Amino acid sequence: MSLQELGQQAKQASFDLATLTTRQKNAALAAIAEQLEAQQEAILAANKIDLDAAHEAGLSAALLDRLMLNGERLAAIANDVRNVISLEDPIGSEMDCRVLENGLRLSRRRVPLGVVGVIYEARPNVTIDIAALCLKTGNASILRGGKETFHSNMALVKVIQMALQQAGLPAASVQYIEKPDRELVAQLLRLDEYVDMIIPRGGAGLHKMCQENSTIPVIIGGFGISHIYVDDSVDLNAALDVIENAKVQRPSACNALDSLLVDQKVAGELLPMLAERMNQASVKLVATDNAMAGLSAAKDLQPAGEGDFDTEWLSYTLGVKVVADVDEAIAHMRTHNASHSDAILSNRLQAVERFVNAAGSAAVYVNASTRFTDGAQFGLGAEVAVSTQKLHARGPMGLTELTSYKWIGIGDMLSRP
Amino acid sequence: MSLQELGQQAKQASFDLATLTTRQKNAALAAIAEQLEAQQEAILAANKIDLDAAHEAGLSAALLDRLMLNGERLAAIANDVRNVISLEDPIGSEMDCRVLENGLRLSRRRVPLGVVGVIYEARPNVTIDIAALCLKTGNASILRGGKETFHSNMALVKVIQMALQQAGLPAASVQYIEKPDRELVAQLLRLDEYVDMIIPRGGAGLHKMCQENSTIPVIIGGFGISHIYVDDSVDLNAALDVIENAKVQRPSACNALDSLLVDQKVAGELLPMLAERMNQASVKLVATDNAMAGLSAAKDLQPAGEGDFDTEWLSYTLGVKVVADVDEAIAHMRTHNASHSDAILSNRLQAVERFVNAAGSAAVYVNASTRFTDGAQFGLGAEVAVSTQKLHARGPMGLTELTSYKWIGIGDMLSRP
């Protein structure tokens, strides 16, 4: 099947999905969860082919672990689908209902986007995750995973399509781009006749490629340098707890702390304490000249080089810089891609207001860890992506962010514009 | 100045604009309105240069009229700016404020987008209109008008920048791309480091060009085929009133009726009445075979050719087709770019529900004219554009659609993710 046909079928399926009841969509999700467990053997066999190939190709232990499915993980994935059943369906709700002076009863009604294209990398659970969230919001999806997970993904999509048909829904509600050609990704990005939104889930390179080549709106996100600015008005041990949480709880996450900006008023006292804390957590420090002396007790310390404050570490490394005040912190952040999650630790109301207003980040925290930026933490029940762009959605995207709206105007044949 | 520098300065100005109070922004708008009247002579002299050149180039009377400024029109433009002062400022309002179980006080706060790039065609009033709406929402703007209005636009932007400086705001809050190179438009579309949104205001060709070349999110809109489907359950004279309003009130508008879909149950009675009504309004009819006989009384009638139902007429022409039922109407609309404004005239609840749910249009009407799709009619107070895409904003865009939001999380140093 050509990509053109695949797009056409997805669009056709999206017409059916748009008018399903929540009960019908939930029944399809329940069938998917059930089939994931019933078809465990076939899925794990397919996954083994991918795992064997990955072993042979010498993939890292971390990548192998991301790739690996077993009974327990499949059960967890099935339960994630059941969790989506329990989420509120945003489709059909109406906003801003009012009668205009011209006589029209006007409202905005939440509707599905239509067709969502998702391009992702290693983890096979993304296949189920995205398919379930799109289905719940009445969107058809076209998926494209990494080549390392090809057999696993094909097995999972086969299970999904079987469950969809069982539930009386078109199999084309969830489709997978099977052929390995990279050219097909480029084609998908220009399928604007059928596809309404592209979600890349992967590294900065994937996002950049989508941004540069897509004629379809793309959700850019998932990376950015995270900063904490701390001044002298807070309890320093409590501040170190927050900093440690932000850096160490899960260093590979996009909301993990990258750069710590220490106000000069507290640097003398805080930096030695920081060195000690980070030693305990085996964090390497990369510091500006004005922070080196204060950090001299650090076991792993080096002067910051070109680009270090533009690096999303994703590991046990932390950049440290002493700044004159909140304005220098803001100026630093503006030139070092502060677009995701940033925090101020301070009790000075004026500095806090300045920071909150001026930070260009999707999520700004006061006296809290950057690690809060997450759909589950925010109570959205799901996370489709974390957007760092400003259109449509910003920060963690839940089900509502997979929807659009249409205006509905009801007249009486006599109302006139 | 290079486009790179222009973008840099716009971004820098956007930082200042983002933290202004409504009072400061309104003072700048008042200064602009005042200067537009005070500098009338210089503006009209510049406009005369454009008009003379347009005369010489043999532009149509309609284009010359769109280009032309005079004292009265300038006063109207100044009053439009004063109207923007009276609109509510959406910036700073907060949504979804709540305390999460994890202890975080979370909200979403409306913030400016940052820098908006606007590419438009003939009318010089767009220069003031967009600059004022962007300013009110704390956005910097980079403008690029058509070459026919070059001198007028330069004079208007000079007046704006003078007023901005008077009000203590950076002149770079509103900038204009001066050089005529078309290459600069292509460069603007890839200035994603500084520009957050592109709004094309012009024909389908301009939108297509932006969609294909931009690495910045583009608001696509302003065109689409508008349909009315009518069945036998309504008063036919009232239906003809609505149809006439939709077709004739302003045929050049993007929400004007293009195609009328007549249910076969009412065709025998309605088509002769339609022919008579359209004769009175000098509307040319382009009809499918199954409608020709019923329309035989029409003075200007021809059989529909290839592509006629894919044509946005923008003139006194109407496509007419007889359809079996609401489902055939929907099927027709799905294959003929129904993305802007469509209406059903019917008293059958089931047909109405089906139409409202299935129509893929930004605005769907029941027993009302497609002409309602307009920011002013919708009570938005302003209209930045009419979006036909599904992300960010759909249909008429007001001030709120020129904003984004940031998440703000307030902790107490102890709350933990």
pLDDT tens digit sequence for A150-161: 999 999 999 999
User: Cβ contact (<8 Å) for B417 and A377?
Assistant: yes
> Residue A66 and residue A44: Cα distance in Å, rounded?
14
In one-letter notation, the amino acid at residue A141 is: S
Residue-by-residue DSSP string for A202-228: S-HHHHHHHHHH-SS-B--BS----EE
Write down the pLDDT at residue B283: 98
In chain A, residues with a C-beta closer than 8 Å to the C-beta of B356 are 408
The residues that bridge with A408 in the sheet, in sequence order, are A107, B364
**Chain pair A-B, CB pairs under 8 angstroms:** 197
Give the model's pLDDT for residue A381.
Answer: 86
Question: Span A286-294, mean pLDDT?
Answer: 98
Q: How confident is the model at residue B381 (pLDDT cuts 50, 70, 90)?
A: confident
Mean pLDDT on B348-372: 97
Cβ of A409 within 8 Å of Cβ of B372? The answer is yes
pLDDT 10s digits, B54-98: 999 999 998 899 899 999 999 999 999 999 999 999 999 999 999
Question: From the candidates B357, B377, B407, B408, which should be mutated to test the interface with A, based on the most A CB atoms within 10 A?
Answer: B407
- Please report, for residues B4, B196, B385, the alpha-carbon distance to residue B192 in angstroms, rounded to integers and kept in the order given: 10, 7, 21
Contacts of A359 in chain B (CB under 8 A): 406
Reduce the DSSP state of residue A316 to 3 states and report it.
Answer: coil
Q: How confident is the model at residue A382 (pLDDT cuts 50, 70, 90)?
A: confident
Nearest residue on chain B to A250, alpha-carbon basis? B417
- Least CA distance to B354: which residue of chain A? A19
- What is the share, in percent, of chain B residues with pLDDT greater than 90? 91
For residue B179, the model assigns a pLDDT of: 84
Candidates A101, A217, A405; nearest CB to B389? A217
Place of tokens 């949504």: B95
Cβ contact, residue pair B18, A357, below 8 Å: yes
Terminal Cα distance for chain A, rounded:
47
**Residue B148 scores a pLDDT above 80:** yes
CB contact under 8 A, A372 and B102: yes
Query: Is A407 close to B363, i.e. CB distance below 8 A?
Result: yes
Mean pLDDT of B193-200: 96
Round to whole Å and give the CA distance between B170 and B21. Answer: 15
Task: Choose the closest CB to B390 out of A196, A345, A378.
Answer: A196
Are residues A238 and B413, on separate chains, in Cβ contact within 8 Å?
yes
| A22 CB-near residues (< 8 Å, 6+ apart) | A89, A91
Closest CA of chain B from A379, distance in Å = 7
The HSE-up count of residue B33 (CA atoms within 13 Å, CB side) is 20
Residue B62 is predicted with a pLDDT of 86
Average pLDDT of chain A is 96
pLDDT at B122 over 80: no
Percent of chain B having pLDDT more than 70?
Answer: 100
B215, B243, B254, B327: which to substitute to probe chain A, counting the most A Cβ within 10 Å?
A: B215
Cβ neighbours of B189 in A, within 8 Å: none
Q: Which two tokens stand for residue A133?
A: 């969230």
Per-residue pLDDT of A273-285, as tens digits, reads: 999 999 999 999 9
Kindly give, in sequence order, each residue whose CB lies less than 8 Å from that of residue A387, ignoring residues fewer than 6 positions away. Answer: A219, A220, A221, A362, A393, A394, A395, A397, A401
**pLDDT of the residue at B222:** 80
Rounded mean pLDDT, A80-107? 96
Q: Which helix (H) or strand (E) holds B24?
A: helix B22-38
Check residue A174 and give its pLDDT: 98
Judged by CB atoms closer than 8 Å, whether chains meet at A100 and B365 is answered as no
Report whether A154 contacts A46 (CB < 8 A): yes
Q: For A106, which of B192, B196, B378 is closest by C-beta distance?
A: B378
Contacts B378 to A, Cβ<8 Å: 100, 106, 407
Q: How confident is the model at residue A182 (pLDDT cuts 50, 70, 90)?
A: confident
* Residue B322: pLDDT band with limits 50, 70, 90: very high
